[in-house]
A and B are shown apart, each in its own frame.
Chain A
Amino acid sequence: MTLQEALFNYLLRLGDNALIQGHRLSEWCSKAPVLEEDLALTNMALDQIGAAQAFLKYAGAIENKGRSEDDLAYKRAERQFFNNLMTELPIGDFSFTIAKQLLLSSFEFFLFRGLSQSKDQTIANIAAKTLKEVHYHLAHSRDWCFRLGKGTEVSHEKLQNSVNALWMYTDELFEMGEADEVLMEAGIVFSLKEIKPKWLELVSGILDDANIALPNVDYMQTGSRKGIHTEHLGHLLSEMQFLQRAYPDASW
């Protein structure tokens, strides 16, 4: 794998994660439990789509085949996406979205803090900007974990179930492959193994404060590094890509 190929692949990972998570968050529009949360969730969606735009634009530039960020978002098929499986899972109830956001935002907190030191200046810049937003996303999901975890019996049970259901997708966040090796050697990225214990410490601390038990699962699902997804991604893409696919000659 050349440096260029590795960088392209890594940027798709970052861009796709933001794109798909942003898409899922945007599905909350007009459906949140209170109007304030409608605004908060779609605001996070907006942050994520912005990050996706930046990463995919840079991915297109690195690939150097004339593909724009929109080409990459709207004209790739399921097997060419590299977002983590967790991001594409349907939004579920509010506790599921909050739990998912907690797990992802705490991962992104360490990821973008590390990448903001990258030798690749473009990545460092996007990571630094994204990190500021992640602080807010993390605080938002942490506060809601406290409210749900310690609010009522019903909310506690729902949050615990959501955390349990999501846990099998957490290992994949830290999975490394050839692209990571190549880019680490060039000083562009760092080892995800380094941040896993820090992530676990942060997440388990918050969950503990929320009276939520750390799940004990014996199986971890992975696949996205190879473009192997859940069944949900295809449906998401068929909706997201509808206009671009139905009117290939049109520009909007």
Chain B
Amino acid sequence: MDATAVQAVFQDKIEQDLKIEPKDPMPDRYRAHLIRQISQHAHSEVIGMQPEGNWITRAPSLRAKQILLAKIQDEGGHGLYLYSTAETLGISREEMIEQLQTGKAKYSNIFNYPALTWADIGAIGWLVDGAAIVNQVALQRTSYGPYARAMFRICKEESFHQRQGYEIMANMMKGTTEQREMAQDAMNRWWWPALMMFGPHDKDSAHSGDAFKWRIKRKTNDELRQKFIDKTVQQAEVIGLTIPDPDLKWNETKQGYDHGEINWEEFKRVINGNGPCNKQRMEHHIRYHEEGAWVREAAAAYHEKFPTD
């Protein structure tokens, strides 16, 4: 099939709102866009294990430790699932990891911020997973079949994480003065980076045009951000947390909140490598990947010698 025919068959399916499956004809640019997006999604799950993993050994109760361990395990599972999804498009996990480690592929900018106190574990679950869900629920209707199905499964687990994170914050807000201060401090530090997770304003968004045409994306960055803000402000009020935005106010006409200016300078700076943890996250990933090389080599050699084992 030549490129024009591929394009015609493909666009016809898209118009009918049918899912594109791995063996279906698809334009190269659609494939490349998906590989970029899905691998970035997978890398985000994996790099996200670092800030949360930072608190596993210090979790304050056996229950909290189990919940956190289970959550991080879920994230790792999502990573595996998404790597497999990307592999259906003709790229290997090794290639994706190499792209991550050489900086060609990105991961969610949010994980370049540090998890400093136990309240950050609450804030990450509540705000970061909360923002991720809003994005991922929209992606359940994305045009690439395997990606859409991955999102169904992932969303179920993420909503559980979000509740757990909120529970940590709620408990701390019912606790001692120090705990309440810790919770508010985490809120102050994570709120704005969480809003940035939805990406630039629609008018400045570089990848959006094609993504809409191909129905990979169905809602705009600003629509999704608005949805997140509207549900989160109320949740914060219920437990007595203040949103660190003096310009935040209810807009009766649009039936949603207006928010203050997002610091896009910071966003660009961190995305381009100069955030609090960019170097640390990548060094960690590379270090343990390299330290594990002899194990992967041993497993491969064993498999070669004893293929049926």
Q: Which residues of A contact B (CB under 8 A)?
A: 19, 23, 26-27, 29-39, 42-43, 45-46, 49-50, 52-53, 56, 69-70, 73-74, 93-94, 146-148, 150-152, 154-155, 158, 239-240, 242-244, 247, 249-252
Contact = CB atoms under 8 A, between A and B. Distances in A.
Interface string B93-123: 0000000000000000000000000100000
A150 B302 contact: yes
A29 B72 contact: yes
Interface in B31-86: 46, 49-50, 53, 56-66, 69-70, 72-73, 76-77, 79-80, 83
A30 B49 contact: yes
The 6 closest A-B pairs by CB, nearest first: A33-B292, A151-B298, A155-B298, A33-B295, A29-B53, A243-B60
Interface of B: 46, 49-50, 53, 56-66, 69-70, 72-73, 76-77, 79-80, 83, 118, 168, 171-172, 175-176, 178-179, 284, 288, 291-302, 305-306, 309
Nearest to B288: A31
B69 A26 contact: yes
A247 B175 CA distance: 11
A25 to B, nearest CB: 9
DSSP class of B's interface residues: helix, strand, loop or mixed? Answer: helix
A28 to B, nearest CB: 9
DSSP class of A's interface residues: helix, strand, loop or mixed? Answer: helix
A151 B77 contact: no
Nearest to A19: B62
B58 A239 contact: yes
Nearest to A247: B178
B66 A50 contact: yes
Contacts of A19: 62
Contacts of B72: 29-30, 42
Contacts of B299: 147, 151
A84 to B, nearest CB: 19
